[in-house]
Structure 1
Amino acid sequence: MRVVNFGSLNIDYVYRVDHFVRPGETMSAQSLQVQCGGKGLNQSVALARAGVETWHAGLIGPEGRFLKETLDRAGVHTRFVEETAGSTGHAIIQVDSTGQNSILLHDGANGRLTPEFVTAVLDQFSAGDAVLLQNETSCAGDILREAARRGMRVAMNAAPANETLHGLPLETLSWLLVNEVEGAFLAGTEEPEAILDTLAERYPDTTVVLTLGEQGAAAARGSLRARVPARQTTVVDTTAAGDTFTGYFLRRALEGASLEEALTLAAAASALAVSRPGAADAVPGYTEVLAAL
């Protein structure tokens, strides 16, 4: 089983702050780190560290070559990571004293994926393979439609939540992964059980996964439900928590495991990720996660 991730590639500028900057406020940061990032990159690293054969498809600018090198070191295949004119995507991330984060994104090269690029990549895969994507690149609709036409199973982390999501054929998904904000945006309600009920009814052939931070995670497929608590840990940085969860959940889901088994592995991996600083660098390895369980 191979997974091709049409994923965002960002340079993260991470500022440690006492609190998030307020409107009109000028504040000195405690520190600055420049890191590899993008939900796509983080999720490819998580998949690879979870033991999944992972191919990343995306675009970078000249200053983003170290992102490709990071994927290579993590064991991700990077044949479909191409360099293009213009800037690499980047993110400005504030991490406060409690480990919570606030993120400002600039698409850069992530917004320059074309339908031709999507087709050329998917021509190298088959119905036995799976596709992963986020809402941080262009051509999400093309990816979903082309993958469905080829009979491929598709997982989407519907982040960030914006109007683009309403125009996508989400009913074609095998897995839809959202946090509370993204789930509320799609479902039109903020209560977790109502989010799951609404999305499961709207997409009856899709497994809907809802991450709930300190409240754990839940999933629904049709009338089937599963929920696991969050694992206790010291929170240092939540930046890659959801991305780690996505990669490890898919590891189990692709194996045909139960919803509860997939949620349990993903929650353990996510707890390890938030206990250390960084994004891709914080993603744990598979044996480490098994040991934590």
Structure 2
Amino acid sequence: MNIVVVGSMNMDVVNRVSHHPLPGETIKGKGTSYIPGGKGANQAVAAARAGASVQMVGAVGTDGFGKELIASIARDGIDTSKILEKEGTSGLAFITVNDEGENNIILSEGANGKVTPDDVRTALGNANFDALLVQNEILLESSYEAIRVAHEKSAKVFYNPAPAHAVPKDILQLVDILVVNETEASVVLGKPLSTHTDYADAAKQLVTLGAKAVILTLGSSGSLYADNALTVHVPAFRVQAVDTTAAGDTFIGAFASVFSGENPMESLRFASAASAIAVTRSGAQTSIPEHGEIVEFLQSSVETLPHFERWESSHVDHD
């Protein structure tokens, strides 16, 4: 699979804490790490480590982090020739992780906010690729331009609208696989979600609005896949979470690396295994597993493989 990723590249400044501070509270941290991240770069690394051929389109700043961000993903064999250098700072993410592995994140977009639609069209114009991965950590119009170009080239479009915004219907109709978590789905649809039926309804509604298929990731509750034919829940593997940073990006990159359009269930299981491994490790790109690790994990978990379950929406007639 030849994949191009259009998206963000950040240096993650990660602070470990016993608990997340309350408003006005000062707490003592357990240590600080600098780890390359950004949803775009994370998904690129996840896809590359899962076995895909990957090219990154994005931007870094002229600060000291820029060259390290490029070098970091180049070590995974990712083509970095279309990464631009923009005057100013690189993207930064300030991440706080508590003892339960839950995180809070503040983004400072830096160079990511300077990637223009023209930059994207120029970069993708002469590129050959089977699939596009794109998110919302660059300018929205630049993400949308990437989707338009990929659709023109008949490439599969995997869109993760995070940070979440309402998605125009004309863009949604160009998306092959829309990947959202509970919060993102709630924002995109403009309504709260809390029950199994809510999740199934949301996934089917997003398909009705135009996406060919939807993956709704549910953290420790697994994931939900929906298209015009079915809605299926895939429970998560049971592991001890250390840090959930980049778990969603790992899932998306791994899924895209093996998805052919004919094997959604096996692709979901592969992606679930990849993200399960990722949450047992600290950091963003440092937590993402290699293809062999994912295969070994699946083989060692053969007795406890998640079973697919049909989740009905309130709009589906029950037999």
- TM-score by structure 2 length? 0.87
- Given the alignment, which residue of 84, 87, 93 partners 1:85? 87
User: Residue in 1 aligned with 2:203?
Assistant: 196
The Cα of 1:129 is off from its aligned counterpart by 2.2
2:56, 2:16 → 1: CA distance? 29
2:23 counterpart letter in structure 1? P
The Cα of 1:223 is off from its aligned counterpart by 2.8
- Aligned identity (percent) is 38
User: Residue in 1 aligned with 2:290?
Assistant: 285
The secondary structure found in structure 2 opposite 1:142 is helix
CA contact (8 A) 1:218 1:263 kept: no
1:55 counterpart letter in structure 2? Q
User: Residue in 1 aligned with 2:277?
Assistant: 272
1:229 counterpart letter in structure 2? P
- What aligned pairs does 1:98-113 form with structure 2 within 5 A after superposition? 98-113=100-115
User: Residue in 1 aligned with 2:266?
Assistant: 261
The Cα of 1:166 is off from its aligned counterpart by 4.4
- What aligned pairs does 1:1-293 form with structure 2 within 5 A after superposition? 1-62=1-62, 63=64, 64-126=66-128, 129-138=130-139, 139-163=142-166, 165-166=167-168, 169-187=171-189, 188-190=191-193, 191-203=198-210, 205-253=211-259, 255-293=260-298
Deviation per residue, 1:215-248 (Å, 9 max, x gap) = 1111111132222111011100000100110011
The Cα of 1:258 is off from its aligned counterpart by 2.0
- TM-score by structure 1 length? 0.94
CA contact (8 A) 2:169 2:209 kept: no
2:109, 2:187 → 1: CA distance? 21
CA contact (8 A) 1:60 1:88 kept: yes
2:263, 2:231 → 1: CA distance? 11
The secondary structure found in structure 1 opposite 2:47 is helix
User: Residue in 1 aligned with 2:302?
Assistant: none
1:257, 1:16 → 2: CA distance? 41
2:75, 2:155 → 1: CA distance? 27
The secondary structure found in structure 1 opposite 2:126 is coil
The Cα of 1:82 is off from its aligned counterpart by 1.8
The secondary structure found in structure 1 opposite 2:173 is helix
- Pairwise CA RMSD: 1.5
Deviation per residue, 1:69-89 (Å, 9 max, x gap) = 011101111011121101101
The Cα of 1:132 is off from its aligned counterpart by 1.0
Please, which runs of 5 or more residues in structure 2 have no aligned partner? 299-319
User: Residue in 1 aligned with 2:312?
Assistant: none
Asked which structure has the greater CA Rg, the reply is 2
